[in-house]
Amino acid sequence: MAKIIRTQRVKRARSLAKKSAKKANSTPGTAKRSLKAKSLKAQKPWTPAEIREAFERFSRANPEPKGELEHLNPFTLLVAVVLSAQATDAGVNKATRALFQVADTPQKMLALGEERLRDYIRTIGLYRTKAKNVIALSQKLIDDFGGEVPRTRTEIESLPGAGRKTANVVLNMAYGENTLAVDTHVFRVANRTGLAPGKTPLEVELGLEKVIPAEFMLHAHHWLILHGRYTCLARRPRCEVCLINNLCRWPEKTV
């Protein structure tokens, strides 16, 4: 009899221990995170009419949105975009204003040389690698493309220091193609709003291309960047003044 009572006590103690371990693992942060994940999953996707409405609002507010990287021609745009990796547009502009006065073609950039180029751009992060790339891409433009910035994504991506994002920006801004570069702002806005959720920039880019009506594609890149840079800020989104706050699916929006 005593043995039976002892076994029952051990069983009860084990079950209590299991319950309290489960409770301990469920910290408020974990609970909040899983709630957020659940509520994000539960969001209804945007309807085509809502997406059209959002871009009509962007368009009415800013019919001709402009990128903020200063440039003089397709070559200086390409150089500015290559220099802007992990740097702010304002920081790049500060350096390139003087640089582009002396080197606005691949030939002039080669004549300037890597060492003097470094002096112009030393305030920009990773300037040594970037200077090397700008000289190498200038050489390649002369050797393979007659000194012109090519017009296809594959060709632009073949240039040193230029990836898919660079190619998309150049094709869009220099040649008026309907490409959509996904930078940190576009990535955040697409995911947060639920417009085109994705784990990688490429996934977001393809998602946005699929849902944005063709007539808005040319400017979509700039509308989304500017929205992320000035309204849907990373830390404190300004939901109260946001043009699309009634459409946005973010569970944590403040309106």
Is position 183 annotated as part of the catalytic site?
A: yes
Other CB atoms within 10 Å distance of the CB of residue 90: 10
Kindly tell me which of 175 and 230 has the beta carbon lying closer to ligand SF4: 230
Asked if 130 is part of the footprint of ligand SF4 (rule: CB under 6 A), the reply reads: no
CA dist 234 and 21 (Å) reads 35
Only one of the segments 57-65, 110-118, 131-139, 237-245 lies at the binding site for ligand SF4 (rule: CB under 6 A); that segment is 237-245
Asked if 231 is part of the footprint of ligand SF4 (rule: CB under 6 A), the reply reads: yes
Q: How many residues bind ligand SF4 (CB under 6 A)?
A: 13
Q: How far is the CB of 37 from ligand SF4 (least distance, A)?
A: 17
Q: How far is the CB of 232 from ligand SF4 (least distance, A)?
A: 3
For residue 112, what is the enclosing H or E element?
Answer: helix 106-112
Taking CB atoms within 8 Å and a gap of at least 24, the contacts of 85-94 are: 85/126, 85/130, 85/161, 86/125, 86/126, 87/124, 87/125, 87/126, 91/123, 91/124, 92/124, 93/68, 93/69, 94/123
Asked if 245 is part of the footprint of ligand SF4 (rule: CB under 6 A), the reply reads: yes
The footprint of ligand SF4 (CB under 6 A) covers 192-193, 231-232, 237-239, 242, 244-245, 248, 250, 253
- Catalytic sites, residue numbers: 165, 183
